[in-house]
Amino acid sequence: MIARDQRTVAGSGERLDRHLLNAYPWLDRATVETLLAAGQIRLNGRPAKKGAKLAAGDILDCRDVPEPADLKLQPNPDLPLKIVYEDDHVLALDKPAGQPTHPLRWAETDTLANALVARYPALAGIGDDRLFPALLHRLDTQTSGLVLAAKTAAAYAELRAQFRRFTVQKHYLALVHGRVEKPGSLAAPLTHQTRSPCKMAVARNPDKVPRNDLFAAETAWTPLETGREFSLLDVTIYTGVTHQIRCHLAAAGHPIAGDALYGPPSSPSTINHQPPTNSRHWLHAARLICTHPATGRSLDVACRLPPDWPAAK
C-alpha cells in the first residue's frame, strides 16, 4: 500500500476519477470508485467524488492506495472447487448457482476464480486480467454449470482464439415459462437497455443503435420436456453476448423461470412446490465442445444438472 501520496494538480478540467486512473495506471475503475467511496481520496482537504472537476493548484491527498503487488487475486482455500474434467492443459469446472465467476474488485474472495487459484496457484499468472486468470469465459452469478480454464499460457491463447471465432459449441439447459412443443431459434442483435444499462434488449431498430453497442446474437432451442406451465429446453448459443439466452428466450415469449430481470418477478410455487424466489434463475451450462488446444481432437465435456433442479410441470 502507498500510505500517503500528496500531490498538486497541474492542469484543469479533468475529472478526478480519470486523473487517478492516469496517476495509478495499475488500478481499475472499480478500485478507484472503492477508494473514493471509502474517503481515501481527499480533494483540498475534503472527501472527493469521482466526477469532481480538477483545477490547477488543487491538492490531492491519496491514502492507502494499493500498489501492483497488492492487486493479486486472493486465493480462498475454504471454497469448494468441483472439477468435471482435467488434463495437463485444460480444466472444466462446475460453478454452483450463486457464486460469481470472478471478482470485480481485488478485495473480493468468494468467487470461482478465488477457489481456482487456491487449488492451482500457478494459474494466477495466466492471461492478462489479474481478476480473471486462466478462465476462458464467464457465467452469470445465478447460472450454474461449466466454466472452462486453461492450465498453460499456450492452451489459454488457443482456447481464447476459439471463443473469439465462435467455434466453441455451448449447450445450456433452461427451465422456461410456457409450453414449448417444437424447436425454435432467434437471430437478433442485442443492445444495452437505455433505462437499465445492466439489462440487455433486442435491438428493434439496429440501424439507430451505435455500432459499439450492437452485438450480433443467435440462439436456438429444442424442447426436452413439456409440462402444463413450464418446459425444459436444450439451448445452443452460437455467439456469446451478455445475458443472451435470458434476453432471447424472454423475447420469444418463454422467459426463464425465476429470472427477475427478464421474466416474471418470481417462480410460481408450483415448481416442485417451492416458495417463490428471486434468488435463482433456472439456467445451467450443461455441455461444451471445443478443439483440444494440445491434441487437436474434439473435447466434449458435460455437466449434470444440480440436485435442486425442479421438474417441468
The answer to whether domain 169-302 has CATH 3.40.50.300 is: no
Residue ranges per structural domain of the chain: 2-70, 83-164, 169-302
The secondary structure of 149-186 as a DSSP string is EESSHHHHHHHHHHHHTT-SEEEEEEEEES---S-EEE
Judged on CB neighbours under 10 Å (0-12, 13-18, 19+), 218 is middle
Looking only at the bridges linking them, the beta strands covering 41-43 and 59-65 are antiparallel
Of the candidates 162, 157, 91, the one whose C-alpha atom is nearest the C-alpha of residue 120 is 91
List the helix and strand counts (H, then E) for the chain.
5, 15
pLDDT of residue 273: 40
Helix (H, G, I), strand (E, B) or coil at 20: helix
pLDDT of residue 4: 86
The one catalytic residue in 129, 140, 234, 300 is 140
pTM of the model: 0.80
Model pLDDT for residues 163-198, shown as the tens digit of each residue: 999 999 999 999 999 999 999 999 999 999 877 768
Residues of the chain with pLDDT under 50: 266-278
pLDDT of residue 197: 66
Cα–Cα distance list, 125 to 72, 73, 133, 292 (Å): 10, 10, 7, 21
- In CATH terms, the fold of domain 2-70 is 3.10.290
For the segment(s) 83-164, the CATH number from 3.10.105.10, 3.40.50.11540, 3.30.2350.10, 3.40.50.720 is: 3.30.2350.10
pLDDT of residue 70: 76
17 counts as catalytic: no
pLDDT of residue 263: 83
Cα 36–chain centre separation: 24
Whether the Cβ atoms of residue 24 and residue 39 lie closer than 8 Å to each other:
no
Buried b (16+ CB within 10 A) or exposed e, 109-118: bebbbbbbbb
